[in-house]
Structure 1
Amino acid sequence: MFKPLLLAAAFACGTAQAANPLFAPLYTADPAVLVDGGRVYLFTGRDEAPPEGKDYVMHEWRLFSTCDMVNWKDEGVPLNAKTFAWAKGRAWASDIVKRHGKYWFYSTVEHATVPGFAVGVAVSDSPTGPFVDARGSALITNDMTKQTDIAWDDIDPGVFIDDDGQAYLYWGNTVLKVAKLKANMTELDGPITVVPVANFVEAPYVHKRQVNGKSVYYLSYSQHWPEETAYMTGPSPVGPWTPQGVIMERNTKTKTIHQAFFEFNGKSYVAYHNAELPGGHEHRRSVAIEEFSYRADGTIPFIHQTKAGPKANPSAACKR
């Protein structure tokens, strides 16, 4: 039986600081982040490929939480690919959002009867699960999008809810797609639209900030191969988008990189993966986190990968 563990921080010069990559000895990838109740909930895929593995072996999503960005609690496995009875397997990249007091988890799996990858929706009353299939069927299947002939062009869902309550789903490989979601969070609300992004590969993620009194939307994603993280900004969740450049370098031991931006207790962070744990490689990746500060004009600086990771930033939840 699984027993949650407290993953202790490393200490340097008397200052608590998390060490990158996180969650050793597990290999983790494709971070998705939810901040709720003074805690950060970090969902990851789990790489289970053997040392000589040549493919992604991923069956489940793992969950870790913290109230101080240093000490992480292993919350176990809130769901796996077989949470979706219609899926063949493959617990690939995901995203999560809270709405109507429930937690909605959008995930990539391989469909059992429709060739190719699909996007499913699971829901829970708690961020720690258990999650159940919210639809009983896929939200997105490969036969719904005809822009490419590859089986994996409907992956990496990213969900964003604007201040007016409208929810958007972004996803794709090679071609970036976006669609509105109905308030029930389980149905598309209108057509699927293609977003023209030069050199786009995967991992679309949208977040929003107020900059000098104006709302700025940030669309970050992986570009080129091997991948690097780039981003664009715009005045709305659907653009028009202005390219802003590369903000994280390519990895050396894996060709992929997958980002999620979040704010916690007054500071800004980005989660991503590399393959820097001992034994890491293309299919044995490791999630890490960096703290950064936006420039005065709202742009994101180039963010260097570090081994030190974030410093302690305890919220009031740590005292509960």
Structure 2
Amino acid sequence: MNKRVLFVLLLCLGAFSGLVAQNPIISGQFTADPTARVFEGKVYLYPSHDIPSPVERLQEWFCMEDYHVFSSEDLVKWTDHGVVLSQSDVPWGDAGSYSMWAPDCVYKNGTYYFFFPASPKGEKGFRIGVATSDTPFGPFKPLAEPIAGVQGIDPCVLLDKDGQAYLYWSGRGLNVARLKNNLTELDSAPVLVADVKDGFKEGPFAFERNGKYYLTYPWVKDKTECLAYAMSDSPMGPFEYKGIIMDQSPTGCWTNHHSLLEYKGQWYLFYHHNDYSPDFDKNRSVCIDSLFFNADGTIRQVVPTLRGVGIADARSLIQIDRYSTKSEEGVFIDYVNQDDKFEGWKTFFSHEGAWVTFHRVDFGDGKLQKVSARVSSEMGGTLQVCADGHVIADIEVPVTVGRWQTLTVPLTGLQEGVHNLCVSLSSGRNVQVDWIRFE
């Protein structure tokens, strides 16, 4: 049974309330350009949606037809609320442009306002439209016309503490303007943000913290985008460049796009990468990592992780390939299925002593009795499972001759609460692990 079939069966049995993932946080579809907001005590994620192009002109470019909305209470389990707006719904948009790029959403006066770019009918370039809903998960109804006086992409709205709203967007540089109280019209002329750093910039995300205003943005530092930021005492600037939030992708993904969010006392960076599409960086997937500030308000640089954030339920499929740490030698990560990369990754232990850790796993009351692992091996071996250094299971892996097999063994000495896992190859060679799960 492959991972996708097992996932569906578990979902039907009620084991999950939504999508479960580490980094990337959403599988089964591409998600990019994530804007995360807190509404009604949950995190709502508003990404763009990369798809394989149905038209020849976009075969090697970005192609986006609609928007999905996702929500989570723990940043681990994500619910897909489905399509909330499509290019065919936009009365002023070109319904065949496939240019529904990075969006945003804010709440004011009982209404959720969804901001999105699209190509207008009979015009070149992009305009920015607004759609509204009574709920944060839509569906959203677009207004008849785009925002007058705005041409560009990547809208971001900052609602200041006094209720004043500011619209930021990309269009021949980074721009900002005040919005009227209805959030659908400009209340000032656009201002081109001072060139805080040479080079191409897009995707602005602005926020306020402790009286300081932060303007963050993807910036082409060399050949690909890093995430940088500037600070100001005013939402309209001038902004002073401060540094890098996340460096360029080591695998050469050309774009990055992001948002920053405080949730339950912790700040997070939402961003994207082409994990599920290593050979085509126009198909991206959303990731999350924790973010921290220095005492002077500057941002510490974030190093992307596979483990991501949140506490994993021990009863879920734990993808140890999204490890926290690993041995310097003897551990390799590869796709389970090269023809369907959404099936995820596998961990290959090449020799005795190789190990990975996976932090923050919740074992609840400690009464779980078994651990299952989906494994494969050409030579056989023994996998040892530890929780905070204590051995809780040994899994004898037979020779499977290229087949996957799910093995289940009893647990011993398991304690309640949250623990860091370690899975190691205590004997044998060439053992592959897809996932482990406790029950």
- Report the TM-score range of the alignment, normalised by the length of the smaller protein: 0.7 to 0.9
CA spacing shift, 1:124–1:268, aligned 2, 3 Å: same
Query: Which residue is 1:109 aligned to?
Result: 118
Q: What does residue 161 of structure 2 align with?
A: 163
Q: Deviation per CA, 1:21-45, whole angstroms, max 9, x where unpaired?
A: 1211211111111201110000111
Residue 318 of structure 1: aligned partner: none
Please point out which of 212, 215, 218 is paired with 2:214: 218
* Residue 148 of structure 1: aligned partner: none
Structure 1 residue 58 displacement after superposition = 0.5
> Which one of the candidate residues 59, 64, 67 is aligned to 1:58?
64
Of 72, 79, 96, 2:78 maps to 72
Aligned: 1:208 with 2:178: no
Map Cα deviations across residues 159-212 of structure 1 (whole Å, 9 max, x no partner): 1111111110010144111111000111111211111222242011101111xx
Secondary structure, counterpart of 1:203 in structure 2 = coil
Alignment match, 1:87? 93
Match of residue 147, structure 2, among 128, 139, 148: 139
Q: CA deviation at 1:140?
A: 4.7
Aligned 1:35-46 pairs, distance under 5 A: 35-46=38-49
Letter in 1 for 2:107: K
Matches of 1:173 and 1:253 in 2, distance apart? 24
**The residue matched to 2:154 in structure 1 has which SS?**
coil
Name the CA distance, whole Å, in 2 between partners of 1:25 and 1:279: 15
1:228 aligns with 2:236: no
How far 1:241 moved relative to its partner? 1.1
Counterpart position of 1:185: 183
Amino acid at match of 2:51: E
2:288 maps to 1:289: yes
CA distance in structure 1 between the partners assigned to 2:228 and 2:29 by the alignment: 27
Residue by residue over 1:261-310, the C-alpha shift from the partner in whole angstroms, topping out at 9 and shown as x without a partner, is 11111110111111012556221111111112211221110101111111
Tell me if the contact between 1:68 and 1:313 (Cα under 8 Å) persists in the aligned partners: no
Aligned partners of 1:140, 1:171: CA distance in 2, in Å?
Answer: 14
Q: Name the CA distance, whole Å, in 1 between partners of 2:162 and 2:312.
A: 30
Aligned to 1:196: 194
> What residue in structure 2 maps to residue 21 of structure 1?
24
Instruction: Give the CA deviation at 1:7.
Output: 3.8
Counterpart secondary structure, 1:82? helix
Percent of aligned pairs with the same amino acid: 36
- The whole-number CA distance in structure 2 between the counterparts of 1:29 and 1:304 is 19
Aligned Cα RMSD in Å? 2.3
Equivalent pair of 2:148/2:186 in contact (CA under 8 Å) = no
What corresponds to 1:151 in structure 2?
A: none
Work out the CA distance in 2 between the residues paired with 1:80 and 1:265. Answer: 32
Instruction: Name stretches of at least 5 consecutive residues in structure 1 with no aligned partner.
Output: 10-17, 146-153, 315-320
Q: Is the 8 A contact 2:193 2:238 kept in 1?
A: no
1:34 to 37, 51, 66: 37
Q: CA deviation at 1:6?
A: 4.1
Residue 47 of structure 1: aligned partner: 50
* Higher mean displacement: 277-286 or 108-117: 277-286
Query: Any unmatched runs of 5+ in structure 2?
Result: 1-10, 314-439
Structure 1 counterpart SS, 2:88: helix
| Contact 2:38–2:44 under 8 Å retained in 1 | yes
| Partner Cα separation in structure 1 for residue 215 and residue 312 of structure 2 | 26
SS in 1 for 2:26: coil
Contact 1:69 / 1:313 at 8 angstroms: preserved in 2?
no
Give the length in aligned residue pairs. Answer: 289
1:248-259 aligned within 5 A = 248-251=246-249, 252-259=251-258
Contact kept, 8 Å, 1:30 with 1:259, in 2: the verdict is yes
Deviation at 1:53, TM superposition (A): 3.8
